[in-house]
């Protein structure tokens, strides 16, 4: 089992949207970074826990917990010419982009960047690294435990 942090802009798709989604699930589509894609394709497994993070908003932070509920499969938006995620180089026979589905587990209080930075056990959290812009990052098991048992009780 691995632990993850996945970012979403709340005006596009929030933790509340996930809670209201059919079966409380959604495909994590639109990822167009190869490293993030590789995490989904090569490392994510059904049952892996996810910190759902609101980004690019007035108050970014962890807003809930989700769970990976499918293995990676081709992201259909790459084939849709009307989608902002369309990729002309991608084909049905050779898709470049994948997604997984995530399932809502629970909403939490908003745990912001400033508060995360206050805790020494989280000094290595990739989210806090200077210049980190990845939408999907692994979370160390000790960091996961600290966040979920001490900060999000």
pLDDT of res. 142: 98
CATH class of 3-141: alpha beta
pLDDT of res. 153: 80
Residues 6+ apart with CB under 8 A from 126: 5, 132, 134, 137, 138, 139
Q: 70-99, pLDDT tens digit by residue?
A: 999 999 999 999 999 999 999 999 999 999
Residue 24 CA to residue 102 CA, distance in Å, equals: 8
Tokens standing for residue 34: 């190869």
| Contact of 77 with 66, CB cutoff 8 Å | no
Give residue 82's Cα distance to chain centre: 24
Q: Where are the domains of the chain?
A: 3-141
pLDDT of res. 21: 98
Rounded to two decimals, the pTM is 0.96
Strand, coil or helix: 50? strand
pLDDT of res. 152: 94
Helix (H) or strand (E) holding 80: none
Sites in the chain below the pLDDT cut of 50: none
């Amino acid at each position: 089992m691995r632990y993850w942090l996945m970012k979403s802009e709340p005006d596009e798709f929030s933790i509340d949207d996930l809670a209201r989604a059919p079966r409380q699930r959604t495909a994590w589509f639109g990822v167009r970074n190869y490293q993030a894609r590789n995490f989904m394709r090569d490392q994510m497994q059904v049952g892996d826990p996810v910190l759902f993070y609101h980004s690019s908003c007035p108050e970014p932070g962890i807003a809930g917990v989700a769970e990976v509920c499918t293995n990676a499969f081709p992201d259909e938006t790459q084939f849709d010419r009307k989608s902002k995620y369309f990729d002309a180089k991608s084909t049905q026979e050779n898709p470049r982009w994948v997604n997984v589905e995530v399932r809502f587990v629970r909403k939490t209080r908003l745990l912001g960047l400033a508060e995360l930075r206050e805790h020494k056990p989280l000094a290595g959290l990739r989210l806090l690294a200077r210049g980190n812009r990845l939408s999907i990052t692994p979370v160390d098991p000790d960091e996961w435990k600290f966040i979920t048992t001490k900060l999000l009780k």
